[in-house]
Amino acid sequence: MCDEQTEAENEAYLQDRGLGRRELGLGVSATAATLLAGCAKAETPASTAPEPAPDRSPAASAESPAAGVQGSMVTIDTPEGSAEAYFVAPSSGKHPAVLVWPDVAGLRPAFMTMADRLAERGYAVLAVNPYYRSSKLPILETFDQWRTDEGRAKIRPMAEALTAEGITSDGAAFVAWLDAQAQVDTARRIGTTGYCMGGSFTFRTAAAAPTRVGAIGSFHGGGLVTEDQTSPHQLFATMKAAALVCIANNDDARQPDAKSTLQQAADAAGLASEIEVYAAQHGWCVTDSPVYDEAEAERAWSRLLATLEQHL
């Protein structure tokens, strides 16, 4: 997951490729610009009136969602406060919903663009601010900001404040909110995706709303197999969702038994699963990550679309 060891591993990986921090920052900015151009408690859902979506790029060039989809900022009432989120869906009709949990750097333009891309494929997508208990948006604008001493100092207490119980409660509230939206087809099940720390949150969401969540996608997810009784892999027994688990190469090297433990837990629960180690570093799927790997990210994207199509 995104800790100091992972950052050291990724830094070594980048150095092996001959990329320093300065050159890397320029490369990621160019990649992001290209993608922007083309690319459990039962809660009562509540929301405020949608607000206009904010500027969507770190340079404030205000990219709007692609034609055919409509996006806006919303606020969702949870048992512990009001959570900001970005909701985007096709401009007409009802569609299966997908809940997106961001990585450690939180909800930012990169994840809004990723949500837009999923909406373009016919889904009603909610990308949430998991740190709403600690801070309103914006928190960080880019992943590179998290890599600074100031960014880590800002995020660390927010991340430490997140609990398994809190995420479970949030997952139930976000699923209930989605089910109340006119754009969501409640006859179809809901999917949830998560990146880095958000990977484990997909398991907790599926366990919190097992009759509604039909598929999860965890991408370079952190903490999926632990010795704790609430470890995400233990939740397969409660879930009723198919699982796509895409593991980073360096995460697998650190915890090589995790993939087999996950597979055994999914098999024991009788759930469809696809668990694979990708030839990429932790963070490879997120467009503003320094180790973004387009080829492997697109392969994971195609597997996500196939999973959602089959199980929602």
Domains of the chain, first to last:
4-16+47-311 (3.40.50.1820)
Kindly state the tokens that stand for 256. Answer: 């090589």
pLDDT at 28: 35
Q: Are 143 and 149 in contact (CB under 8 A)?
A: no
Q: What does the alpha-carbon distance between residue 74 and residue 83 come to, in Å, rounded to a whole number?
A: 8
Q: Are 243 and 266 in contact (CB under 8 A)?
A: yes
214-244 in b/e form (b: 16+ CB < 10 A) is: bbbbbbbbbbbbeeeeebbbbbbeebbbbbb
Q: What does the alpha-carbon distance between residue 32 and residue 50 come to, in Å, rounded to a whole number?
A: 26
Q: What does the alpha-carbon distance between residue 115 and residue 29 come to, in Å, rounded to a whole number?
A: 19
pLDDT at 285: 98
Q: Are 284 and 250 in contact (CB under 8 A)?
A: no
pLDDT at 176: 98
Q: Are 245 and 275 in contact (CB under 8 A)?
A: yes
Closest C-alpha among 74, 86, 88, 75 to residue 116: 88
Q: What does the alpha-carbon distance between residue 283 and residue 35 come to, in Å, rounded to a whole number?
A: 16
pTM for this one?
0.83
Positions in the chain whose pLDDT score sits under 70: 1-67
pLDDT at 8: 52
List Cβ<8 Å contacts ≥24 apart for 137-141. 137/54, 137/73, 137/84, 137/107, 138/54, 138/108, 139/105, 139/106, 139/107, 139/108, 140/105, 140/106, 140/108, 141/58, 141/108, 141/109
Give the single-character DSSP code of 47.
Answer: B
Could you tell me how many residues make up the chain? 312
pLDDT at 273: 98
How many degrees, rounded to 5, is the angle at CA 204 between CA 240 and CA 113?
100
What 3-state DSSP class applies to 292?
A: coil
Q: Are 65 and 71 in contact (CB under 8 A)?
A: yes
pLDDT at 37: 25
